[in-house]
Copies of this chain bind each other. A is one copy, B any other.
Amino acid sequence: MADPRFFRAAGPLTLREIARLASAELEKGADPERSFHDVAPLDTAGEDDVSFLDNTRYLDAFRSSKAGACVVGPQHVEHAPKGMALLVSTKPYRGYAQVARAFYPPQPRDEGRHPAAIVDPTARIGPGTEIGAGAVIGARVEIGPDCLIGPNAVIADGVVVGAGTEIGANAYLSHCLVGARCQIHAGVCIGNRGFGFAMDAEGVLDVPQLGRVIVEDDVEVGANSTIDRGAGPDTVIGAGSKIDNLVQIGHNVRLGRQCVLVSQSGIAGSTKLEDHVVVAAQAGVAGHLTVGKGAQLAAKSGVMRDVPPGLAVGGAPAMPLREFFRLCTIWQRQLKARGKRDD
């Protein structure tokens, strides 16, 4: 069971309710009134727990699991251990997510401001919003209803935060408009001046960064990530985009809807990612480029040119991923050939 120090379980739920939540078909033979108390991973789940199988790496764990019920794809049903109630779904991960969310619903907030929060009298705070200890809310800030502002977070003058958004502890927001239902995690910095300056024999001269950061609805930004404000245009994070920890987004970057940026990736200034682009871990995209809709950038790739829609690329400098894999094969062959000569 999830550690009660940190989580509060809301069960039990019957198999019938669980199947409905998971949009899954309950395999015949299972008792729809049987009740379950929790979710758990395959290897630690017991008879009162619901688990899931999404990745074939864990097929062995599935075969030997003691989970009482499991959300599973139709192709894996045949591997189920005896006695396990099967919730069959073509989207087992999504199904499991819905079940887990029912077992662990969001905790109610402590509406209001902690007495140690520092809120400028000109700030407007919506009802149901909780402001943590030590949080600093600047002049003319607007925070919607049902938000959570973490302890010691700093929201600078003029920032707007939409309904239901959570701002993590020690995060810093300036020069930005943040949409509804966003999750901005701890330590995130949004709205710093972009990295714009003239440097030559005359010296270094900063170029004023006069844009903002627009974070659309339902965006998640992972811990300690940084998003610079625009130089003149805005930096824009499209609705539903998921940004992991320690990601860097330069000034004027525009992300489309539901982009995914995995940890330690970086997007240089003025580059545009269209909708549904996936940037894997530690990948980087140079400035002033366009990455087309649905393109996928492999981990550690270094993108130096525009990427057409739908293309998967890899390597540094990046090339179509199929070519990169072929290149890796060529290298292996060259190594083998040379190995023989060395013998």
Chain A: residues with CB nearer than 8 A to chain B?
2-3, 5-7, 39-41, 44, 55, 57, 91, 93-94, 96-98, 100-101, 103-104, 114, 116, 118, 132-134, 136, 140, 150-152, 154, 156-158, 160, 168-170, 172, 174-175, 183, 185-187, 189, 192-193, 195, 197-200, 202-208, 210-212, 218, 220, 222-224, 226, 228, 231-233, 240, 242, 244-246, 248, 250, 258, 260, 262-264, 266, 268, 281-282, 284, 286, 288, 299-300, 302, 316-317, 319, 323, 326-328, 330-332, 334-335, 338-339
Contact = CB atoms under 8 A, between A and B. Distances in A.
A240 B201 CA distance: 12
A284 B299 contact: yes
A253 B141 CA distance: 39
A52 to B, nearest CB: 9
27 contacts: A6-B158, A7-B210, A93-B198, A94-B198, A94-B202, A97-B197, A97-B206, A104-B210, A118-B133, A132-B136, A132-B154, A134-B152, A136-B169, A150-B154, A152-B154, A170-B172, A189-B245, A195-B262, A195-B263, A204-B242, A245-B248, A246-B246, A264-B266, A300-B302, A323-B335, A326-B339, A327-B335
B284 A281 contact: yes
Given A189-B186, A208-B104, A326-B338, A233 B200 contact: no
A305 to B, nearest CB: 12
Contact of A331 (B40, B151, B302, B327): B327
Copies of this subunit = 3
Question: Which 3 pairs between the two chains have the least Cβ-Cβ distance?
Answer: A5-B158, A189-B223, A94-B198
B156 A169 contact: yes
A186 B195 contact: no
Main SS class of interface, A: loop
B245 A192 contact: yes
Given A185-B189, A200-B94, A302-B282, A226 B226 contact: no
Contacts of A226: 187, 222-224, 245-246, 263
Contacts of A203: 240
Contacts of A160: 5
A208 B231 CA distance: 37
A211 B6 CA distance: 9
Contacts of A174: 6, 169, 186
A291 to B, nearest CB: 16
A187 B189 contact: yes
Contacts of A151: 118, 136, 154
Contacts of A233: 41, 44
Given A232-B39, A233-B44, A204 B327 contact: no
